[in-house]
A and B are shown apart, each in its own frame.
Chain A
Amino acid sequence: MNVSVVVFPGSNCDQDAVRALASFSGRPVAQVWHGDPALPAATDLVILPGGFSYGDYLRTGAMAARSPIMEAVRRHAYEGGLVLGICNGFQILTEARLLPGALLPNKTLTFVCKPCTLRVERTDTPFTGAFRSNQVVQFPIAHHEGLFYLPEEELDELERRGQVVFRYASPEGSIAPEVSPNGSLRNIAGIVNERGNVLGLMPHPERASDPVLGGRDGLLVWQSVAGWIEGGH
């Protein structure tokens, strides 16, 4: 699989994503500068990494969403290519309107960094094929703006279309507002677009891709993507 990681000024999880993917795939991972006009040819998966692109100034993700490279990312998505936005990358995807909704400040009004348990809601997306149905996994979060918000009716619509892919859950897999670390509506941690090829995820799978660092559950995401691509999609 060919992975490209976009580097915005202020990205700080870009190298983590590069390392996790290179270690998983055994292949070099391309790094694409935000000012570049195009993605490397044959890119299967584009990752918008976590961090504080443009210092989070104006609004998280707002300026990065207007970077030159985002036109190429948009085209890649329209053509059915895979896009994964992690943390700040998710915020950028909503600002770029590639995903619905907005990420508001956490209910605690503080930055929160800790391991979280998530329940996978769909295993038929390109990013979740290697998960078991309703599997509970552990990825860490690290963000200040992670409360997923949509007006009630649109939220129902999102649910009806099955766009919610990950929710914050108890280790046993139950979904209750108390187990959400940030007050996210309906415990939403990750959603896909209608077509299913663009995933926004607040928790960090690249931080759960090495047993030495406390977990391997993140590998399931990379395995899913690899399987999807090998399956000839």
Chain B
Amino acid sequence: MDFRTVGLTENEYKTILRELGRTPNETELRLFGVMWSEHCSYKSTRPLLRLFPTEGRAVVQGPGENAGVVDLGEGFGLAFKVESHNHPSAVEPYQGAATGVGGIIRDILAMGARPVASMDGLFFGDPELRKTKALRQGIVAGIGGYGNAVGVPTVGGKTVYDEAYTENPLVNAFCAGVVRLEDMVRSDTAQPGRLVVLLGAKTGRDGIAGAAFASVELAEDTSASRPQVQIGDPFAEKLLIECCLELLEKGLIDSMQDMGAAGIISSSSEIAAKSDVGMVLDLDRVPLREKGMTPWEIALSESQERMLLIVNPDRMEQVLQVAAKWALDCTVFGETTGDGRYVMKAGGAVVVDLPPAFIGGNAPVIHWPSREPRDLEERQRLEVEELSPPKDLGAVLRSLLEDPNLGSKTWISEQYDSMVQTNTVIGPGGPVSVLRVLRGDSAPVFVAFSMEADPWKCRTDPKGGGAETMARTLRSLSVCGAEPLGWTNCLNFPSPQDPEVFWEMRECVQGMADAARALACPVVSGNVSLYNETPQKKILPTPLVVTAGLLPDLDGFLPWSRWREGDHLFLAGMPNAALGASRYLLRTFGLLRGKVLPFDAGAEQDFTARARRTAKEGAARSARSLAGGGLAVALAKEALESGIGARLDVQIPTRPDVFLFGEGGPRALYAVPPASLPLFRSIWRGAPLTELGVATGNILDVKRGFSLSLAELRDSWRR
């Protein structure tokens, strides 16, 4: 069998020959083909990921495990991670999205954490196309169908539309879980002489080599790839969650791994490598769903709802009892050894015999060539003077509210159970989602999540766009009063073999890393999804960020959309934003152009510190950090959700459209009751602060700008 048919390069094959000192057999070769795929090995991006800051006060577990963990105090931690399920969702939207949710939930479970919240980043194509509507319907139904049944609330998300995603939609699934730190599971704790156990669903031919499928471009006709998509069963997952948590609580297992990409081989070899033990696995003992499966199919199957357990033989009887209670298959199919060899047997013969650390950890890094895009200057060129200012700014605002990127997403979020587990303080639809975390007998704490992506800015200005994306999450968290704990990201890009794509990816990562370092927010987990393109189209550079922040109590939480008659409205932060890659520029002029405001570490630090103080000291009634659509869209959302208008009379320092619709930089819209004005002003003394006007009536009236009734705004927003 030729190494090329399993997707290995010549260099990789030579590395294998050199290390093994022999020719790998067919089963081994197929294992390497998947384990050294981009999806499993991160061979193209490992050097880039080192740019991220990973250390911080709150970090308990950084990148490298199934999920990162941050400290919530009183012996509790928050495990979280975001992961892509793009290719499967493009081919089979319902199951692709559903198994994306299921997979990330098992990643969290594998840390020993109870999954408590999900969020989803969805990127769809041209919203007018039937294809988009069909994909969207399937993906949303798949997320709901799985998440609702498994009983993990979907508390928020981000939905982006651009024609770049028409053929290659993106589904980024995020999950967070709560773990007692003393029960946290690690994959480096297995000792020799333990049993290797398979818990959960039977193994079938579904999802064979799905990881390899995710590591190449999508073909023009994707129907042939359907067998590589897995099928989800949320009922089995719910039983698996409860069973695993009961096993952990009773102290019956030494270690645990979820079976995601590359199934048995990936989960078991990772434990062997990290714990530095050998392993002998008997594939004949794996419960199968169908007959005639070859050893490599069994080893690589991505059948869902399975976990791998490492169990002390003395406790096996109790493990079987718990599994029986939850009606789950539980099968011993191997043991750990002291000889450092990773061996698989089938039909009585040895079919795999490899050094464990070599299987997952040694795909040689590929240093793809990198080149600044030839048209970068063109992408960034934007002369505002050449844009004739629109006459009717009210019509512009209405058009922005009708933009599916900025409008209400209620029709999506209502299809998800956002409240199950009864800890959702703030569900979908706002700048952040807030969850209560119970900590045994201690007082609860509250965690806020912010998910952001701005692929347009990452297209015209990858570094600035990356920084802006990351910083936006921290601004939203700070404005509501949360202290950042850590973040996770999903890097969605086209093929890295295109030097311009690789350059864009490196710049995006650098920008995100710069922002995270400046704001002292460590990465704890992440995922990379490459080859998101079809022969016709590449997706936009799409890094997605989810950041978690801590609220010790709700007294220090500052909500949004709470205007009351007579509140004073302020813009905190610089009044002069940029039109570069703004929604306004795209929607009104059809232009994807211009640079992003450069990331200013000092300004961001100052803004986030003052914003947190404002929330903590209760100096404002309502606040919203500015994002897509700039000040005008923030005003409209605050007004229509508060059910009250405003009269604004402000000396606009720039062109009205730049002032109203410009984006970028640390800025927020505040509503302050008259009694709090002295405190609010003292907190923001020395920082850029513009008084805009007063909340009143039922018309949003901006002198020299626009005048729209709440009814008109609502009509556009809900369209």
Contact = CB atoms under 8 A, between A and B. Distances in A.
Interface residues of A, number: 31
Given A52-B149, A55-B234, A55-B235, A113 B421 contact: no
Contacts of B327: 9
Given A110-B415, A113-B414, A213 B235 contact: no
Contact of B235 (A10, A50, A207): A10
A52 B423 contact: no
A63 to B, nearest CB: 11
Given A55-B149, A55-B233, A142-B148, A213 B425 contact: yes
B417 interface: yes
Contact of B421 (A10, A16, A140, A209): A16
A56 B234 CA distance: 10
Contacts of A12: 149-151, 238, 420-421
A210 interface: yes
Interface string B233-268: 111101100000000000000000000000000000
Contacts of B43: none
Contacts of A50: 420
A57 B414 CA distance: 23
Given A19-B422, A110-B144, 4 more contacts: A140-B419, A206-B422, A207-B419, A209-B422
Nearest 4 Cβ contacts at the A-B interface = A55-B235, A12-B151, A52-B149, A16-B422
B235 A111 contact: no
A114 B418 CA distance: 8
Contacts of B420: 12-13, 16, 50, 142
Given A111-B416, A114-B414, A10 B149 contact: yes
Nearest to B412: A110
Contact of B415 (A52, A111, A212, A214): A111
Specify which of B145, B235, B326 lies most central, judged by the most chain A CB atoms within 10 Å of its CB. Answer: B235
A212 B417 contact: no
Nearest to A54: B235
A9 B326 contact: yes
Interface string B195-217: 00000000000000000000000
Contacts of B149: 10, 12, 52, 55-56
A140 B420 CA distance: 10
17 contacts: A9-B235, A10-B239, A12-B150, A12-B151, A52-B238, A55-B149, A55-B238, A110-B144, A110-B414, A114-B414, A142-B420, A206-B422, A209-B422, A210-B422, A213-B422, A213-B424, A213-B436
B219 interface: no
Interface string A165-199: 00000000000000000000000000000000000
Nearest to B554: A212
A57 to B, nearest CB: 7
A15 B235 contact: no
A213 B234 contact: no
A206 B425 CA distance: 14
B35 interface: no
B309 interface: no
Given A10-B149, A51-B151, A113 B424 contact: no
A53 B151 CA distance: 11
Contacts of B151: 12-13, 51-52
A55 B233 CA distance: 8
A213 to B, nearest CB: 6
A206 to B, nearest CB: 7
Interface string A1-21: 000000001101101100110
Specify which of A10, A57, A209 lies most central, judged by the most chain B CB atoms within 10 Å of its CB. Answer: A10
A113 B418 contact: yes
Contacts of A207: 419, 422
Name the prevailing secondary structure of the A interface residues: mixed
A20 B422 CA distance: 9
B141 interface: yes
Given A13-B420, A212-B554, A213-B419, A110 B235 contact: no
Given A52-B235, A111-B148, A113-B414, A15 B421 contact: yes
Contacts of A22: none
A112 interface: yes
B420 to A, nearest CB: 6
A142 B436 contact: no
B558 to A, nearest CB: 16
Contacts of A113: 148, 414-419
Interface in A109-124: 110-114
Nearest to B446: A212
B235 A142 contact: no
Given A12-B150, A51-B151, A112 B415 contact: yes
A88 to B, nearest CB: 10
Interface in B401-420: 414-420
Contacts of A209: 422
A205 to B, nearest CB: 11
Contacts of A57: 235
Given A10-B238, A110-B141, A110-B415, A213 B148 contact: no
B421 A9 contact: no
Interface string A124-167: 00000000000000001010100000000000000000000000
Interface in A190-233: 204, 206-207, 209-210, 212-214
Contacts of A9: 235, 238-239, 326-327
A171 to B, nearest CB: 13
A114 B233 CA distance: 25
Interface in A19-60: 19-20, 50-52, 54-57
Specify which of B414, B423, B425 lies most central, judged by the most chain A CB atoms within 10 Å of its CB. Answer: B414
B288 to A, nearest CB: 22
B234 A112 contact: no
Contact of A111 (B234, B417, B424): B417
Contacts of A19: 422
Contacts of A55: 149, 233-236, 238
Contacts of B326: 9
Nearest to B235: A55
B141 A212 contact: no
A20 B419 CA distance: 14
Nearest to B420: A12
A10 B146 CA distance: 12
A12 B146 CA distance: 13
Nearest to A207: B419
A89 B235 CA distance: 17
Contacts of B145: 111
A110 B143 CA distance: 12
Contacts of A56: 149, 235
B239 A112 contact: no
